[in-house]
Structure 1
Amino acid sequence: MQTTELRQDSLLSLATILPPAFAGFFVAFGCWTLFAVIGVHVRTQLGLTDIQFGLLLALPILSGGVIAVPAGILAQRFGARSVMLGCLAGLIPIMALLSWVESLWSYFLVACGLGLAGGTFSSGLQFLSNRAPPRHRGLALSLFTVGMLGAGFNYYLVSVVHEAYSWRAAPMAYLVLLVVVTALYALLTEPDTRPTNYHGPNRKPGNIGLLYNADVLLLCLLFAVTGGGILALALWLPDFISASFDLPLNHGARLATGFIAPAALCQVLGGWLADRCGAVPVLRRALMASLIPGLLLSYPTMSLAVEGSRGLIHLQIALPLAVEIGLIGLLGVTLGIALGSLLRLLVELQPERTAFCAGLMLLSGCLAGFLLPLLFAMANHWIGIRSAAFMLLFGFSAVSLWALTLHSRRYIRRRLLKGEKPLSPWG
C-alpha cells in the first residue's frame, strides 16, 4: 500500500514539473531552428550567396552549442531553473529584433542570439534531473527532449502566419508564445534552492577535469552520433529524397518527417526502457539495430548486366520509395531510442554535473550537425553516389558502438581484477 502511494506521488511530481519545462524547450527549439523555414525568404530578400545562406543556417546551431556549456556551469552555480528562465527571457528581445532587421550582419547577429535556446537544453536537463523521481528520471529526460518537435512546428506556424500576414510576422508569433511560456514556467515551477553540487572554489577544477574524463568523452561521442546524426539527417534528407526520386522539394520535406517524428518520439521509449533494463544495454542494442537500416540504405541504385544464353540481360536494383522511407523511419526509431537511453546514462554517470556535461554533449552534437552535412555533400561530390551519406553514418555508428563496448569491458575487467563486483551502469 505504501509502495503504491509512493509511486503515485512520484508520478504526480513528474506530471507537475515536466509540462512547463517541456513547453519552454519546445518553443525555444522552434526559435532555434526558425531560419530553416524563413531563411528562404531572407535569401530572396537579400540575394544571399550559397555560402552566406549556409552561414545563416549554421550560426544558430554553432552558437547554441557554445552557449550550452557556460549555461551548464551557471546552472550549477545559480540553479537550473533560473538559467532556463533567463534563456527563455533572453529569446524575447531576439524575436523582437528579428521582426524588423534588414541588413545581412543584423541577421547574423540575431542568428547568434538564437543560440540561447541551447542553454535551455543543458539547464532543462539539470532542472529535471534534480527534481524528477529517480525511478522515472530517464522517462522524464526523454519526454523533455521530445521538445525537438518544435522544429517541425515551424513548418505549420510559419505557413499559417505567412498566408495570413507575412513571413515577418512569424517572429512576433513566437514572441507571444515565449512571453506566455516564460510566465507559465516562472509561475508553475518552484524557485531553486542552493545547488548541492556547488563547492565554492573547487567548482572550476571539477568542471575542467570533466573535459578529459573518459566517461564524458564517450558521452560526447555517442551524442555526436545520435543527436548530431538526427540533426544532420533532418537538414539533409529533404534534398536527398527529392533528388533521388525526382520529387518536388516540398514533397521530399514532408516525407522526411517520417524520420524526424520517430526520432523525436522514440526517445521516450528509449528513456522508459533505460529506466527498467539499464541505459547501457538499451543503448548498445539500439546502436546495433541502427546498423541494419544504415547498411541497407548505403547500397546505391545499381544496374547489373547478366550474360544469358540469348544475350545480355540488364537488371536494375533499386529500393522502391516506400521501402526507402520505411528504412529511413526505422533508422529514426533506433537513433531515437539510443538518444533517450543516452540521456539516462548521463544522469547516472554525472548526477551532480548534469548541466555542464549536457552542455558539452550538445556542443559535440551541434558540431556534428554542422559538419556531417558538409561531409555528406563532399562524399556525394567525390564519389558521385548520394547514398554515400548513409555509408558515412554507418561507419560513425559502428565506431561509436565499438567505443562503447570497449569502454564497458575495460570497466568490468578493472573491477574484476580488483576483486570487486561490476556495478551499474557499465556493469
Structure 2
Amino acid sequence: MERWKKRNWGWKFADHLSELYVVALLLGVAGASFAAALPLASRWYPPQYQGLAMGIAGAGNSGTVLTTLFANRIAQHYGDWHIVFGLALIPVLVTFILFSILAKDSLNQPAPQKFIHYMNVLKQRDAWLFCIFYSVTFGGFVGMSSYLTIFFNAQYGLDPVRAADFTTICVIAGSFFRPVGGWLADKFGGIRMLIMLYSVVAIMMALLSSLPSLTIATSLLFVAMMSLGMGNGSVFQLVPQRFQKEIGVVTGIVGAAGGLGGYFLPKILGNIKLATGSFTFGFLILSGIAILCMLLITIVQRQWRRTWIGASGKARAEHV
C-alpha cells in the first residue's frame, strides 16, 4: 500500500515493466483513433480519390519518425524516460484542440446500424483478406520500426542513439510514401500496386538476409519500408470501394490486424534471432510471407474484378 500511496501519476506513472503494460494498453486505445480518422476522411471523397485521401489521412504514422529521432535523445539528455511521455502530451493536446474545432462528419455518412449488422462483415472473406494484406504492410512497417534499432545495435554495434537515427531514415520512407502509394493506386490500381510492392519487399528482405554492410543494409531497408508504406496506402485504396457502407468498422478490424502484425513481427524476429544466433532466417521468413501475399492477391483479383472493382484495382467507371 505504501508503494501506491507514494505513486506518481500522469506521465510519471510507470516505473516497472508491469506498469508499462498499462501504458501500452492506453496507447493502444489511443491508436484506435485510426479507425475513426480513416472513415471520417474517406466519406468526403469519391472512389477515384480514395487512395490519395486515405494515404494522406494514414500518413499520421509519420509520428513514428519523431519517436525514433527524438525519444532516445530526450531520455538520454534528461536521464529519465518519463520526460519523453510528458513532452508527448503537448502535441497530443494541440491535436485534440484542433480536431475538436475543425473536424466535421460528411453529409454522406450512412445512418447508424445495429452492432450485429456491422459484425456481419466478419462473415465475408474479403474482410479477412484485407486483414492479411494489411497485417503484412502496416504490421511490417510498425514492427520493423520497433525492431530496427535493435537490429542496427546488435548487428552493426551502433549505440542506441545512432541506431535510432538509422532507423529514422528507414521509417521516413514508410511514413511519407504512404500517400504516394495511395495516389499511385488511384492511378494504376490497388491490385497492381500491391502485387508489385509485395514483390519488392520480398526481394529486399531476401537480400537483407545476407546481412550486408551497414550502408547497403540501410539502403535495402529504406526501399523495403518505402514499399510497405506505399502498400498501406494501396490497401486502403481498395477497402472503401469494397465496404462503402461499413467502412468504419472494417477500418477498425483491418487496422487492428495491422496492429497485431506490428506486435508479432518483432517478437517473432527476436525469438528467431535468439534460437539461431542470426538475423538471416527472420528476413528470409519475411520474404516468404511477402511472396505468399503476392500470390494470394494474384489469385483473388479475378473474382474481385467480376464483382466490385475495375481492372487492376481501379475504381469502376460507374463509380467515378
Q: Give TM class, smaller chain.
A: 0.7 to 0.9
Query: 1:227 — aligned with what?
Result: 138
Q: For residue 127 of structure 2, what is the amino acid of its counterpart?
A: V
CA shift for structure 1 position 258: 2.4
Looking at structure 1, the residues matched to 74 and 155 of structure 2 have their Cα atoms a distance apart, in angstroms, of 29
Q: For residue 121 of structure 1, what is the amino acid of its counterpart?
A: F
Percent of matched pairs sharing the same residue:
22
Looking at structure 1, the residues matched to 274 and 259 of structure 2 have their Cα atoms a distance apart, in angstroms, of 23
CA shift for structure 1 position 293: 1.1
Q: For residue 139 of structure 1, what is the amino acid of its counterpart?
A: L
Seen in structure 2, the aligned counterparts of structure 1 residues 250 and 140 have a Cα distance that, compared at 3 Å, is same
CA shift for structure 1 position 229: 0.8
Structure 2 counterparts to residues 116-195 of structure 1, below 5 A: 116-154=29-67, 155-156=69-70, 159-160=73-74, 163=77, 167-190=81-104, 195=109
Query: 2:301 — aligned with what?
Result: 408
**Any runs of at least 4 consecutive aligned residues in structure 1 with deviations exceeding 6 A, and if so which?**
none
Q: For residue 298 of structure 2, what is the amino acid of its counterpart?
A: T
TM-score normalized by the length of structure 2: 0.85
Looking at structure 2, the residues matched to 187 and 117 of structure 1 have their Cα atoms a distance apart, in angstroms, of 19
Of the structure 1 ranges 129-138 and 396-405, higher mean CA displacement relative to structure 2 is found in 129-138
CA shift for structure 1 position 248: 2.1
CA shift for structure 1 position 104: 5.7
Seen in structure 2, the aligned counterparts of structure 1 residues 193 and 371 have a Cα distance that, compared at 3 Å, is same
Structure 2 counterparts to residues 356-395 of structure 1, below 5 A: 356-395=249-288
Q: Contact 2:189/2:313 (CA < 8 Å) preserved in 1?
A: no
| Structure 2: runs of 5+ lacking an equivalent | 4-8, 315-320
Looking at structure 2, the residues matched to 129 and 393 of structure 1 have their Cα atoms a distance apart, in angstroms, of 31
CA shift for structure 1 position 141: 1.2
Name which one, 1 or 2, has greater alpha-carbon Rg: 1
Q: Contact 2:202/2:291 (CA < 8 Å) preserved in 1?
A: yes
Seen in structure 2, the aligned counterparts of structure 1 residues 240 and 176 have a Cα distance that, compared at 3 Å, is closer
Q: Contact 1:197/1:352 (CA < 8 Å) preserved in 2?
A: no
Query: 1:308 — aligned with what?
Result: none
Q: Contact 1:348/1:425 (CA < 8 Å) preserved in 2?
A: no
Q: Secondary structure at the match of 1:114?
A: helix
Seen in structure 2, the aligned counterparts of structure 1 residues 244 and 349 have a Cα distance that, compared at 3 Å, is same
| Structure 1: runs of 5+ lacking an equivalent | 1-45, 47-95, 301-318
Q: 1:209 aligned to 2:102?
A: no
Q: Contact 2:131/2:257 (CA < 8 Å) preserved in 1?
A: yes
Query: 1:352 — aligned with what?
Result: 245
Question: In structure 2, which of residues 167, 170, 194 is the aligned counterpart of residue 256 of structure 1?
Answer: 167
Q: For residue 61 of structure 2, what is the amino acid of its counterpart?
A: M
Looking at structure 2, the residues matched to 251 and 161 of structure 1 have their Cα atoms a distance apart, in angstroms, of 14
Looking at structure 1, the residues matched to 82 and 119 of structure 2 have their Cα atoms a distance apart, in angstroms, of 43
Deviations, residues 152-206 of structure 1 (Å, cap 9, x unaligned): 213426745874796434333333333322121111223566941424xxx3343
Q: CA RMSD in A?
A: 2.9
Q: For residue 283 of structure 2, what is the amino acid of its counterpart?
A: F
Structure 2 counterparts to residues 7-406 of structure 1, below 5 A: 97-100=10-13, 105-154=18-67, 155-156=69-70, 159-160=73-74, 163=77, 167-190=81-104, 195-199=109-113, 203-300=114-211, 319-406=212-299
Q: Contact 2:136/2:258 (CA < 8 Å) preserved in 1?
A: yes
TM-score normalized by the length of structure 1: 0.65
